[in-house]
Structure 1
Amino acid sequence: MSSAEPTTDRVTRSEALTAAEAADVLALARAAGDADGADPFDEHTLLRMRDQQAPAVHLAARAPDGTLAGYAHLDTTDPAAGIGVELAVHPAHRRQGTGRALARAVLDAATGPVRAWAHGDHPSAAALAVDLGLIRARVLWQLRRPLADLPAEPRLPDGVVLRAFAPGTDDDAWLALNARAFASHPEQGRWTASDLRVRLTEPWFDPAGFLLAVESATGRLLGFHWTKVHERPGSARIGEVYVLGVDPAAHGGGLGRALTAAGLAHLRDQRGLDRVMLFVDESNTAAVALYERAGFARWCGHVNYHLD
């Protein structure tokens, strides 16, 4: 890598990626995701990698011919709270010690507690985590369901109407609502204006699929269902319950069920999709129960490993 300095005899380190290096990482991520059935890097990491506006460490393992064999991303925004880590090895370079070399380089580079995601919960990742002393601390489930047999939409609570999100107008009110709805969530509840803005400029963003539940008398935001459509060449299109939240003051009135149903109907009827997915923390038993009652079933798990 252009500004790299060696950390082991196999792995190089840099504080930024060139455009060519970022393209190599994205190509590796696609190959790993296609082979494993789960993308190795989440959206937040990919956006940060592209924009490079937040502090990060990039570790790369290259084959003798210069091909990128493996890559690890270290989010160093808040080292005291934990270094966020995601790591992937190209399918053609597995079982050669590349993943272990990258993992050890991660531990050498970390300046605080490590919080590492293993997307797809593969046995090889679990074995490596055990060998390195990492503890399985959190599970994020991906749930899926077909859209062909949606039940009738439940009625919205009295005095509540749905409308589309208006970029530039609803930003501040939505960020405040999101913070209240996800006050205890380690990632979602910390979204900033920059986090929202970068997603509003993504090619997939569709304001018609960002549904707001509004108190008709006052215009106050009570809840939302932000949907997303995944479209990748060679893969079937699939919808996502991207973020679904309800103001704690509006809990108990059926608004979450109504928002869920409205978003699913939008993905089927307006976007022509036949299946949908979502992510939910295993520990959020109320949300898991809500989604299972709505016909979702577990597809795969994503595990967060800790080393303090």
Structure 2
Amino acid sequence: MSDFSLGAFSLDHTNDLSQQEVSELQSLLAAATDNDGVRPLSEHVWLHLVRGGDDDAEHLLVRNGDHSIVGYAHLDRTDMVDGPSAEIVVHPEFRQQGIGHAVLRELVEVSHGTLRLWAHGENSAANGLAQSMGLQRHRVLWQMRRSLYSSIPDPVFPDGIRLESFAVGHDEQAMLDVNSRAFTDLPDQGTWTMDDLQQRQGEDWFDPGGLLMAWLDEPSHPSNGARELGGFHWTKVHGSTDLHDSVDDARSGTRRPGSGQHGHRAIGEVYVLAVAPPWRGSGLGRALTLAGLHHLRRRGLDQVMLYVDASNLPAIRLYEGLGFVRWDTDIMYRTPRS
């Protein structure tokens, strides 16, 4: 059912997307990504969108006169502390027609004046949209990059640490335990469930060889016989390492957002770097980072990126010390608190 009309456009709310709607959203997101150079939705939102597991989300769909989807917003109401959060995308051919403002007004209204909005990339249209509606900066993520052509020091691990590749079907729970302990102050990351992990394992880009696990030779509690994980570095590759394959995929229409395929040179990512609290300050984080950089270089990549919260100064100092520099910024806005 249409909630209101905006000239030739209509806006609908739904909690359940059809396969046809998901397919249309794939095309919309691909067009926006190609135009803007950055994906307009976070990975977590996209994975739940195409694979399910997001039953509490609300979807806002903007359609043109042909009933095609030309705008989309994802609204997550599950955070009872900080309030609802949203992400917006408008097809490049239908921008500058008031769609974004109409969608944001609707989001603020249905959120009862308490809304957080992500803008991905410093040049994202969502930045101007949020500011024009009086939203204020709430959280900032830096994207940092480093060349893999420049020198990479050899990793030096603390005594008693053994580095292994991730064992599918065996290491999942240990990894999730360290993840939750390492990111207690970052709920987007620290609240990952087994389903969240398995969704990522099901993506085309998943490579267990690029998920480096730092195991203790001797567990802290030998009585239970379980191996103990000190930390892990999950690397990721965006795009095919064969540029020609990427371009062919784009031309044939087989590429989809989130698949890791792009019509440009592939780039590596420090996807998740987690160190268990007892091992902080031991040099394990630095060693894991360097081991991951060497792995990505062996894959034939020439550049690596990562995301880090701008308030996480120790992590930023670590990455800057390893040659990373700030490249771009994601900003979360929120409505002013009364």
TM surpasses 0.5: yes
Tell me, in whole angstroms, the C-alpha distance in 1 between the residues paired with 2:216 and 2:80.
40
Pairing 1:110-125 to 2, within 5 Å after superposition:
110=111, 113-122=114-123, 124-125=125-126
Q: Is 1:235 the counterpart of 2:243 in the alignment?
A: no
Q: Partner residue of 1:288? A: 316
Q: Which residue of 1 aligns with 2:40?
A: 40
Q: Aligned partners of 2:69 and 2:96: how far apart in 1?
A: 15
State the 1:12 CA deviation.
Answer: 1.3
Provide the residue aligned with 2:234 in structure 1.
Answer: 226
Q: Which moved more, 1:165-174 or 1:252-261?
A: 165-174
1:105 aligns with 106
1:245 lines up with 2:271 in the alignment: no
TM-score by length of structure 2 reads: 0.86
Is the Cα contact below 8 Å between 1:59 and 1:105 reproduced in 2?
A: no
Query: Counterpart amino acid of 1:74?
Result: L
Match of 1:6 in 2: 3
Structure 1 unmatched ranges of 5 or more: none
Aligned counterpart, 1:28: 28
Answer whether contact 1:209 1:226 (CA < 8 A) is retained.
yes
Measured after TM superposition, the shift of residue 24 of structure 1 is 1.3
**Pairs within 5 Å for 1:253-268:** 253-268=282-297
1:187 is paired with a residue of what secondary structure?
Answer: helix
**How far apart are the structure 2 equivalents of 1:97 and 1:107?**
16
2:74 matches 1:77: no
SS in 1 for 2:282: coil
The 10-residue stretch of structure 1 (124-133 or 171-180) with the greater mean CA deviation from structure 2: 124-133
1:246-277 CA-to-partner distances (Å, cap 9, x unmatched) read 111111121111100000110111x2211111
Which runs of no fewer than 5 residues in structure 2 stay unpaired?
Answer: 220-226, 240-260
CA distance in 2 between counterparts of 1:83 and 1:7 reads 22
| Counterpart code for 1:19 | Q
Mapping of residues 149-228 of structure 1, within 5 Å: 149-218=150-219, 219-228=227-236
The alignment yields a C-alpha RMSD, in angstroms, of 1.7
Q: Which stretch shows the higher mean deviation, 273-282 or 62-71?
A: 62-71
Q: Residues 137 and 267 from structure 1, CA distance in 2 versus in 1: closer, same or farther, beyond 3 angstroms?
A: same
Aligned to 2:300: 272
**Closer, same or farther in 2 for the Cα pair 1:140/1:106, shift >3 Å?**
same
Amino acid in structure 1 at the alignment position of 2:329 = G
Aligned residues: 304
- Cα distance change on mapping 1:159 and 1:123 into 2, 3 Å: closer
The letter for the 2-side match of 1:227 is T
Is the Cα contact below 8 Å between 1:83 and 1:112 reproduced in 2?
Answer: no
* Contact kept in structure 2, 1:223 and 1:255, CA below 8 Å: yes
- Greater mean alpha carbon deviation, residues 65-74 or residues 241-250: 65-74
Query: Displaced runs of 4+ in structure 1, greater than 6 A?
Result: none
Q: Secondary structure of the equivalent of 2:187?
A: coil
Q: TM-score, normalised by structure 1?
A: 0.93
Partner Cα separation in structure 2 for residue 153 and residue 241 of structure 1: 17
Counterpart contact for 2:152–2:294, Cα < 8 Å: no
